[in-house]
Amino acid sequence: MGSFASRSCAEINVTTPEVKVTENFSRVVSHSAQNGGKGSSQRKFFKQYGPFLRMPNIGDIFPNFRAMTTEGEIDFYDWLGNSWGILFSHPGDFTPVCTSELGRAAQLMPEFRKRGIKIIGLSCSSVRDHEAWIPDILTYTGLQGPMPFPIISDEKRELAVGLGMLDPEFKDDKGMPMTCRALFVIGPDKKMKMSILYPALSGRNFSEILRVVDSLQLTDLKKVSTPVDWKYGEDCMIDVSVPRAYEDQLFPQGVTVKTLPSGKDYFRTTPMP
């Protein structure tokens, strides 16, 4: 699929194979284009979503949007402010895996808050369905009080299409595709830092999401990388861009270089800075 980021909305031709990405996509676009491609609903659709009709890549500016949520209508950037953010989709309300996932995310809210991260869910169900489902999520987790984060209602599937979150394998009772389990981590600079895409039948691991966020936030500030299975507090790798001459200055806690058969000295570790 090509990138549309550099095209103006008017240049997007919905009949090109490039744009007709999936059956789901063309169904949603044709739904928006019932007036022969010139209707106001299509214009509105492309005005908001035209610049990002593909899944964002790492490093892309994550697009802004307006959406209805369980906490009212939001402008995504306003809602995010200068925080880190996680936007994650689920296939539908009143389904078991989704209930377990949103419950886990709600339980982990104090951990997300500690890291300065706002989180927001999304599915194509209505706000009314979200609101009726929330007591199930809270009861499942044993939490009291209001749901600690908003859930977007993307009933027209505009965000689902725009952000590449639809799963063609899973359709609702009206035959419309449901969202898969997509998750985006967005930095305070509004750039996408990380994404995952899981299918409907496989729930995500939110402890892993927190682990990656720890790595993202650390590597954003320090010249280190984090090795396989790393956890907060464990030794890190020194970023390959750091010349050996700067090691002592940048990593006063010490540097260990592992001897490897290649004889190259790239495998350098240091206590977590």
Rounded Cα–Cα distance for residues 213 and 116 (Å): 10
Pick from 92, 148, 271, 273 the residue near ligand BEZ by CB under 6 A. Answer: 92
Residue 176 lies near ligand BEZ (rule: CB under 6 A): no
- Give the residue with the Cβ less far from ligand BEZ, 93 or 158: 93
Is 236 part of the annotated catalytic residue set?
no
- Give the residue with the Cβ less far from ligand BEZ, 119 or 200: 200
Residue 252 lies near ligand BEZ (rule: CB under 6 A): no
Judged by CB under 6 A, the stretch of 75-83, 92-100, 116-124, 224-232 that binds ligand BEZ is: 92-100
Rounded Cα–Cα distance for residues 244 and 238 (Å): 10
194 burial via Cβ count (<10 Å: 0-12, 13-18, 19+): middle
Residue 200 lies near ligand BEZ (rule: CB under 6 A): yes
- Tokens at residue 272, please? 């977590």
Rounded Cα–Cα distance for residues 101 and 272 (Å): 30
- Give the residue with the Cβ less far from ligand BEZ, 96 or 188: 96
Pick from 51, 91, 103, 177 the residue near ligand BEZ by CB under 6 A. Answer: 91
Of the candidates 75, 172, 189, 220, the residue annotated as catalytic is 189
- Whole-angstrom CA distances from 227 to 36, 74, 250, 263, 267 are 53, 37, 19, 20, 10
Pick from 9, 61, 74, 97 the residue near ligand BEZ by CB under 6 A. Answer: 97
Pick from 3, 95, 107, 126 the residue near ligand BEZ by CB under 6 A. Answer: 95
- Whole-angstrom CA distances from 139 to 70, 135, 146, 227, 260 are 18, 6, 11, 37, 53
Is 180 part of the annotated catalytic residue set?
no
* Contact between 74 and 80 (Cβ < 8 Å): no
Of the candidates 9, 78, 93, 98, the residue annotated as catalytic is 98
- Give the residue with the Cβ less far from ligand BEZ, 91 or 164: 91
SS3 content of the chain, % helix, strand, coil (to 5): 35, 20, 45
Interface with ligand BEZ by CB under 6 A: which residues? Answer: 91-92, 95-98, 170, 200-201
Active site residues: 98, 189
